[in-house]
């Protein structure tokens, strides 16, 4: 193997480890949510601010994930799905991962602060809640999912706050929608990976087991999610509104996810949980797109 090939291979390996330590796909989905929230709030798009939001959001989420993997490196080594991560596999030292996390936190806070101080505040709060509360609680109580839903719900509302520098009913509703969505989403993942999670002592399901009571709570929280998603149609949510057509599409999307939640309750299988998880990922992205498109189309019609 030539020196040039070796260097390229090393660079590729380092980049792949960085992607894993920061959970790049998850971080990009968070950036997507933040941008959707920004577009919902903005009358005129400031692309420089939107770029800062995307960069700051990625840095903060990447930092949270790096901190999490430093703390859980020994537990990750026990689970099949995580044992090949950079730390448990020995490809990266904990000190290196910690340095990455600290640098990304400081850079992320600075970038978000250049937008406004409220955006930086909520970004910083998400790291504290995720690292200092959610991560250690995962081995102690199923309530960890409830705690983790708070930082997980911040990105959608963060975009609104980035544009307005204010927190009100509109970002509050965006927060609540993503907050309730996380329960069926993460419980579906917890159901699929229950045996693997138990190897590390993680308590991810509300009853501790993939049973009827857990499936019922999946459906219950999905119903709340659907109800919240339709609130903009009532015109009681400030400047955040939804047309009849938009509300119908959102209702159908929620109905599809509810269908898979009911299937989980009926079948109580890993395959049903997998389908619910996949539907939840599609749901949250499409709902955010529908919200944004509905707003834009409404503006074009009113011109």
Is the confidence at residue 99, as pLDDT, over 50?
A: yes
Is the confidence at residue 5, as pLDDT, over 80?
A: no
Q: What percent of the chain has pLDDT over 70?
A: 96
Looking at the chain, list the stretches that DSSP marks H as alpha helix, in order from N- to C-terminal side.
3-21, 24-41, 47-71, 73-76, 94-115, 117-128, 135-137, 144-164, 169-192, 194-199, 212-229, 244-267, 270-302
State pTM to two decimals. 0.92
pLDDT band at 62 (very low <50, low <70, confident <90, very high): very high
Q: Between 170 and 303, where is the model more confident?
A: 170
8-state DSSP, 279: H
Q: Where are the domains of the chain?
A: 11-167, 169-303
Contact 256, 284 (CB under 8 A): no
Whole-number pLDDT of residue 235 = 86
Give me the sign of the Cα torsion angle 45, 32, 136, 16: negative
Count of alpha carbons within 13 angstroms of residue 106, beta-carbon side:
5
The architecture CATH gives domain 11-167 = Orthogonal Bundle (1.10)
User: How do residues 166-220 score in pLDDT, each as one tens digit?
Assistant: 999 999 999 999 999 999 999 999 999 999 999 999 999 999 999 999 999 999 9
């Amino acid at each position: 193997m030539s020196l040039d090939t070796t260097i390229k291979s090393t660079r590729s390996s380092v980049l792949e480890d960085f992607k894993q330590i920061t959970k790049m796909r998850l971080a990009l989905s968070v950036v997507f949510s933040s941008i959707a929230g920004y577009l919902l709030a903005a009358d005129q798009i400031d692309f420089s601010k939107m770029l800062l939001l995307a960069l700051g959001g990625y840095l903060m989420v990447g930092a949270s994930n790096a901190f999490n993997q430093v703390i859980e490196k020994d537990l990750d080594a026990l689970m099949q799905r995580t044992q090949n991560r950079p730390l448990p596999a020995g490809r990266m030292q904990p000190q290196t991962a910690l340095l990455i996390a600290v640098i990304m936190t400081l850079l992320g806070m600075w970038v978000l602060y250049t937008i406004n101080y409220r955006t930086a505040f909520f970004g910083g709060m998400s790291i504290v809640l995720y690292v200092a509360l959610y991560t250690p609680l995962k081995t102690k109580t199923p309530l960890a999912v409830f705690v983790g839903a708070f930082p997980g719900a911040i990105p959608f509302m963060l975009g609104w706050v980035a544009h307005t520098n204010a927190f009100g009913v509109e970002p509050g509703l965006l927060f609540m929608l993503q907050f309730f969505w996380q329960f069926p989403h993460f419980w579906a993942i917890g159901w699929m990976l229950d045996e693997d999670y138990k190897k590390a002592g993680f308590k991810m399901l509300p009853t501790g087991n993939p049973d009827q009571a857990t499936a019922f709570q999946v459906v219950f929280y999905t119903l709340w999610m659907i109800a919240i998603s339709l609130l903009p149609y009532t015109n009681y949510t400030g400047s955040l509104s939804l047309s009849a057509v938009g509300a119908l599409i959102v209702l159908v999307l929620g109905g599809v996810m509810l269908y898979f939640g009911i299937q989980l309750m009926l079948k109580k299988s890993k395959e049903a949980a997998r389908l619910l998880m996949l539907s939840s990922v599609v749901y949250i992205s499409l709902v955010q797109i529908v919200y944004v498109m509905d707003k834009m189309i409404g503006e074009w019609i009113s011109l």
